[in-house]
């Protein structure tokens, strides 16, 4: 935990330094740095902010909601810069921004080392070797232990319920099918605001085991 806190503090300090330099000309990069200046959970924080103002639960943002979310989060962006970010993500000018697409665009690109680790983790989980991960794969010994999940311990969930929830973590909300697909986009969802700390920790702990 100490190492994690130190890493978060270093990330925040680096982002603050970049912001102070004034070299972040790209509005999206500027917003990304504002988030990272608050540590490793900064992007999760802006996700929570937008979720609060999503009154109708549509998981999408119109321009007015986007302005308000950025402002309430404390991002020092002009209206023109916010428009640039909105239009950049809403490429087809269809109107509202898909919430998850916005968070995906905001996240820093994955390093090659992290991509390799996630690929190894995926292959280890995919016990049947069919290119996707299902509940059946997770039932294997040494793959994913659900016994410490609080809802399993109190009898609220079965083992399969825990597995299904784990898989749901990596799915696109509007395209959920109970299967984890190999696209790294799914692994990226570990860092969005709709993933609980417990679920994120479970996957990261599994990746550490694979790395060892």
Confidence at residue 82, expressed as pLDDT on a 0 to 100 scale? 94
CATH 1.10.238.10 domain span(s) along the chain = 4-106, 112-211
CA gap 7, 13 in Å, rounded: 10
Whole-number percent of the chain with pLDDT over 90: 11
Q: Could you tell me which CATH number the domain at 112-211 has?
A: 1.10.238.10
In sequence order, what are the beta bridge partners of 61?
97
Strands (E), 45-179: 60-61, 97-98
Residue linked to tokens 């603050």: 16
Provide the 10 A C-beta neighbour count for residue 206.
Answer: 17
Confidence at residue 183, expressed as pLDDT on a 0 to 100 scale? 56
**Poorest-pLDDT segment among 150-154, 166-170, 199-203:** 199-203
Phi, psi (deg, nearest 5) at residue 69: -60, -45
Average pLDDT, the chain: 76
Residue linked to tokens 């998981």: 59
Q: Could you tell me which CATH number the domain at 4-106 has?
A: 1.10.238.10
- Output 91 or 199, whichever has higher pLDDT: 91
pTM above 0.85, yes or no: no
């Amino acid at each position: 935990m100490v190492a994690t806190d130190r890493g978060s503090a270093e990330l925040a300090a680096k982002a603050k330094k970049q912001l102070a330099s004034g070299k972040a000309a790209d509005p999206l990069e500027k917003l990304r740095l504002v988030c990272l200046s608050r540590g490793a959970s900064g992007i999760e924080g802006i996700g929570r902010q937008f979720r609060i103002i999503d009154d109708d639960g549509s998981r999408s943002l119109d321009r007015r909601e986007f302005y308000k979310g950025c402002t309430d989060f404390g991002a020092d962006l002009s209206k023109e810069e916010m428009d640039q970010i909105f239009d950049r993500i809403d490429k087809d000018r269809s109107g509202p921004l898909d919430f998850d697409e916005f968070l995906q665009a905001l996240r820093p690109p994955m390093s090659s080392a992290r991509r390799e680790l996630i690929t190894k983790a995926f292959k280890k989980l995919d016990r049947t070797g069919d290119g996707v991960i299902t509940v059946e794969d997770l039932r294997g010994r040494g793959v994913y232990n659900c016994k410490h999940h609080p809802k399993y311990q109190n009898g609220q969930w079965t083992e399969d319920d825990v597995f299904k929830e784990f898989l749901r973590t990596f799915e696109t909300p509007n395209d959920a099918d109970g299967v984890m697909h190999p696209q790294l986009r799914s692994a990226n969802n570990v860092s969005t605001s709709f993933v609980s700390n417990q679920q994120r920790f479970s996957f990261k702990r599994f990746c550490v085991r694979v790395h060892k």
